[in-house]
Homo-oligomer: A and B are copies of this chain.
C-alpha cells in the first residue's frame, strides 16, 4: 500500500488548485478539506474524488472564483446563493455562518442554493463540533434512489450529517439515505464480497446482497425501506423550500454535470446554559452507556466518529493511503 504524508498530499493538491487559478487562501482551505477527508479515512471524497473535481472546474461546472452571497435574512435564518462555486468552500462558509448565528441566537440556519457537491459531508459536522456547536446539515443530490415502492430513481441519497461536540471525541454521524453508496457497492464488488445485508434490488425486483446486481439495476435501497424514502423526500423539500434552489428532480442526473444543488446548515449552541461542562458530562455518560453499559454481557459498540479518530492518528503517523494510479494522475496535473 502506498502511503503519502499529509503535508505532501496537501502541498500537491494546493499546487494543482493554484495552477487552476485558485486564490491562495481559498486554495489552501480547499486542499485542506480534500486532504482531511483522506486523512480521516473517507478516501472516496478525498484524493479519490479530486480528479472529478478538477474535471468539473475545467468543464466550467464549478466556478472557482465564486463566493457565496447572502440573499435574504430573517434573524437566525438566512438564505445564501452559492453561485456554483466550489462545493466544499461554499459548505464550509455556510456552516461557519450558521455557527456565528447560533452564537447570536442560540440556533442558526443557513439554506444554500446553487452550490456544488460538498465532497465529504462529515467535514461540516466536524467543523461545528470543533467550534463547540451541535451541527446538523444535509444536501440534496441528483436523483439516484428509487423511493420504496418504485423502481426508478425519484429521490436523492441526500446525505445527512449530525455532529455533537465532546471533548473525548466528537460524535459525527454522516449518512446517506441509501443503505450503500454506489462507491461502496463498487468496492464490495471489486473485493468479490457480498454486502453484509441486502442493499437493493436486482433487475427482477428481488432484494439482494450482490453489489453487481444493484449496480446493474440502479435500484439501491433506502435505509429502513419506506422510512429512508420518506426521510430523503422531506430533506429535499426543506432544502429546496428554504434555499429557493433546486430540488432533486431538477438536478441533472449525471455526476459530471451535477450542479446547482441545495443544502441546509444548522448549528445549535449546547452551551447556551452557560455551563458547558454539564453538557459534556451528559454526552460522556450517553457514549459510555452506548459503547458498553455497566454490567452488560453484550458487545462493545462503536459510536459514529469513533473510528475516524483512530484512522486519523494512524494516517498522520504512517502516511495517508492513496490509490497509486490516482496519486500519479494528480501529481501529473
Q: How far is the CA of A206 from the CA of B160 in the complex (A)?
A: 29
Is the beta-carbon distance between A285 and B247 smaller than 8 angstroms?
A: yes
Do the beta carbons of A77 and B272 come within 8 Å of each other? Answer: yes
Interface contact A233-B152, CB-CB below 8 Å:
no
Nearest B-chain residue to A264, judged by Cβ: B268
- Inside 8 A of A173's CB, which chain B residues have their CB? 230-231, 233-234
When each residue 269-284 of chain A gets 1 if its CB lies under 8 Å from chain B and 0 otherwise, what string results? 1101100001100110
Q: How many copies of this chain?
A: 2
B148, B162, B225, B272: the one within 8 Å of A301 (CB): B148
In the complex, which residues of chain B have a beta carbon less than 8 angstroms from the beta carbon of A108? 107
Structural contact, B273 and A244, CB atoms closer than 8 A: yes
Q: In the bound complex, do residue B270 and residue A242 qualify as a contact, i.e. CB atoms below 8 Å apart?
A: yes
Q: How far is the CA of A147 from the CA of B300 in the complex (A)?
A: 10
Question: Across the interface, which residues of B come within 8 angstroms of A233, CB to CB?
Answer: 171, 173, 286, 290, 303-304
Say yes or no: is A194 at the interface (Cβ < 8 Å to chain B): no
A249 touches B296 (CB 8 A): no
The reply to whether B290 and A149 form a contact with Cβ atoms under 8 Å apart is no
Q: Which of A98-114 contact B (CB under 8 A)?
A: 102, 104-109
A326 located at the interface, meaning its Cβ lies under 8 Å from any Cβ of chain B in the complex: no
Within 8 A of B (CB), among A204-231: 207, 223-225, 227-231
Given contacts A74-B272, A247-B289, 9 further A-B contacts (CB under 8 A): A75-B106, A78-B106, A149-B302, A152-B297, A223-B223, A223-B228, A237-B282, A237-B283, A249-B285
**Sampled A-B contacts (28; CB under 8 Å):** A74-B105, A75-B76, A76-B106, A77-B272, A79-B272, A107-B266, A109-B268, A134-B241, A150-B296, A150-B298, A152-B293, A154-B289, A164-B241, A173-B234, A175-B231, A179-B225, A197-B207, A223-B228, A224-B224, A224-B227, A233-B290, A236-B286, A237-B282, A240-B282, A241-B283, A244-B273, A247-B289, A249-B293
